[in-house]
Amino acid sequence: MDQSMSSSPDSPPNSPPGCPADCPPLPEGYQLYGYRIERMLSRGGFSIAYMASDSAGTPVVVKEYLPIQMARRAAGSQALIVSSASQGKFNHGMRSFLEEARLLARISHPNIVAVLDFSKANNTSYIVMRYEDGRSLEEYLHRLRESGRKIREDLLRNVFVRLLSGLREVHSQKLLHLDLKPANIYLRKDGHPVLLDFGAARWGLGSPDGSLGNIYTRGYAAPEQQGSGEGMGPWTDIYAIGATLYACLDTGQAPQAADLRMNADEVEPAQRRWAKAYSLQLLELIDWCMQIPVRARPQSVYALQKVLNGELLDLVDPAWFRK
């Protein structure tokens, strides 16, 4: 950690900026079973991600369940303290957190983040995941934007063919991701994608559970995540796939949020906006995925893959996404 960085007024000394004084991250060198905490990678409303290493020195990522509105660290300890008023919600969220780990641990797919271990400690829970060397799609798009370049269609083809393969496996386990976006798509150094951060996936297919509040990202979240009244399903993640592709063409700028689109849709169809820059087949596919009514979208990743394989030739050329 860069020691020259100053802490925020609410942060304890030597803690990363923005960390609440009563909820700092685990300290560098802390031993969590067989894992050594190296530094904090990121922090969200419900968890902290750490860079860590196992007993052999292999880098891993450790994710700690820590909803900052419900828990704090005990003074002089790494254990969490939860108020009696919040204990029920906290326990429910922790069960969902561990269920996420159990479900992901069953998935062995090259484009899904690998869960290596999960356990309880410090009155909370932890998930240990394989460390992936690379950068997020969001970071890649940012660099393109800074250099004034546009993303290549062949790169999108390579990334999203593999991403859809992984997402189909997730859906086969009765799990939805529900927060697909460029920041949660990691690109290895070979360009192959890994789908990260299933923190929003506390819903089984068709069984929403919003007791901890909805977790989604405006611009990528589907209308049914923002009050349209329609049920969630694989088509919900498919909307986010379309929105992510749209953002890729717009060098990382998220499209208009779905709740705003339901009132006054200002999203220019991809077919019109990028008519001369990308293939018509790609642009049609994006517009199809981003339809507001659930039934107007692909109903499953399998249906989307069928299009990409050329079985619905009226929409997409069979050569699209093919090496």
> What token pair was written down for 315?
């929409």
Indicate which residue of 2, 117, 133, 179 is catalytic.
179
Q: What are phi and psi of 10, to 5 degrees?
A: -95, 5
Query: Which residue is associated with the tokens 């390579």?
Result: 158
Q: What is the β-pairing status of strands 185-188 and 193-195?
A: antiparallel
Burial of residue 7 (CB within 10 Å: 0-12, 13-18, 19+) is: middle
- E strands in the chain: 31-32, 35-43, 47-53, 59-65, 71-73, 80-82, 115-121, 124-130, 134-136, 185-188, 193-195
The residues, any chain, with a CB within 8 Å of residue 150's CB and separated by 6 or more, are: 144, 249, 251, 277
Handedness of CA 216, 218, 220, 223 (dihedral sign): positive
Residue 134 is classified by DSSP as E
Is 259 catalytic? The answer is no
> Would you name the residues annotated as active-site residues?
179
